[in-house]
Chain A
């Protein structure tokens, strides 16, 4: 256990559904991240939050909407996804944006 939890662990949704992924860190870190990992591709950074402020949006389509209500919680709201969005979505946290990142177990998302 890294101290970063994610729910749900698996999610199957249709293209017209709306769902949310949740991440919580119990490490007292100040920075949180969303990554996407598709088969046979490198980890893709999606969003970075530092002290609850978004500092990075890596050209992510608007059908992905992040929310960071406090430094311990991070959400990824999903809306009108496409089948190519099926992937492992990973949350991570670090003490600061240059520090070691610790990953949650991920949410395996399948879009039908």
Chain B
């Protein structure tokens, strides 16, 4: 089992809808979880961090963490074409003491 898994997509969502991105991880004791956005040809940009179970909202973005199910998700409300990018889930693996990235989900928002 991969340490961090994401559906590579592509995921297509109509403009104005909610985009839902999912990520699972294998290390039960992980405490730190991050979502990055990467536009084509650019470097990853941190958009959300979450450390506790439940939801964390920042503008149109909501991160959801369920440690019991080892699952973290990112919801994007009122999706815009500018949200089209690859979204990377990253989990700090306590045992290995390093941040491990998923392969990323490519999201396309259709006008």
Contacts and interface: CB of A to CB of B under 8 A. Distances in A.
Contacts of B100: 45
A48 interface: yes
B70 interface: no
Contact of B49 (A43, A45, A100): A100
A102 B44 CA distance: 8
Contacts, number: 43
Given A98-B32, A98-B92, A45 B98 contact: yes
B46 A106 contact: no
Given A48-B98, A97-B97, A98-B92, A43 B46 contact: no
Interface residues of B, number: 21
Contact of B102 (A42, A88, A99, A105): A42
Interface residues of A, number: 20
19 contacts: A2-B45, A42-B103, A48-B98, A56-B97, A56-B98, A88-B43, A90-B43, A90-B44, A97-B98, A98-B97, A99-B32, A100-B34, A100-B46, A101-B90, A103-B44, A103-B45, A105-B42, A106-B42, A106-B43
